[in-house]
Amino acid sequence: MKLTNDSYTILMGTKNFTEKYYKDKKGWLKVSAKGKIFRMTAEQVLNHLLPALSGIKPSLITKVEYNKKA
């Protein structure tokens, strides 16, 4: 089982939209609800993720998916 950052996809949003965060060879990427792709630093990903996990924004839904790599 591979447990590195590039093995996970983070989904965050509400009932009306979802954003996706994942890591490739160059770094973190965000796919917006409209499908636009943005490069991000690890710190920027945490700045988006931590308010949802802390409960400050209770309407945000966060899900993490494990991606099996062959």
Q: What string of pLDDT tens digits covers the 70 residues of the chain?
A: 778 888 999 999 998 999 999 999 999 999 999 999 999 999 999 999 998 889 898 888 999 999 886 4
**What pLDDT sits at residue 2?**
79
pLDDT at 11: 96
Name the residue among 55, 54, 25, 53 with its Cα closest to residue 64.
53
Q: What is the pLDDT of residue 70?
A: 42
- The alpha carbon torsion through 41, 43, 47, 49 (nearest 10 deg) reads 80
Say how far apart CA 40 and CA 27 lie, in whole Å.
7
Amino acid residing at 51: P
What pLDDT, on the 0 to 100 scale, is given for residue 27? 95
Tokens of 57: 């924004």
Q: What is the model's pLDDT at position 18?
A: 95
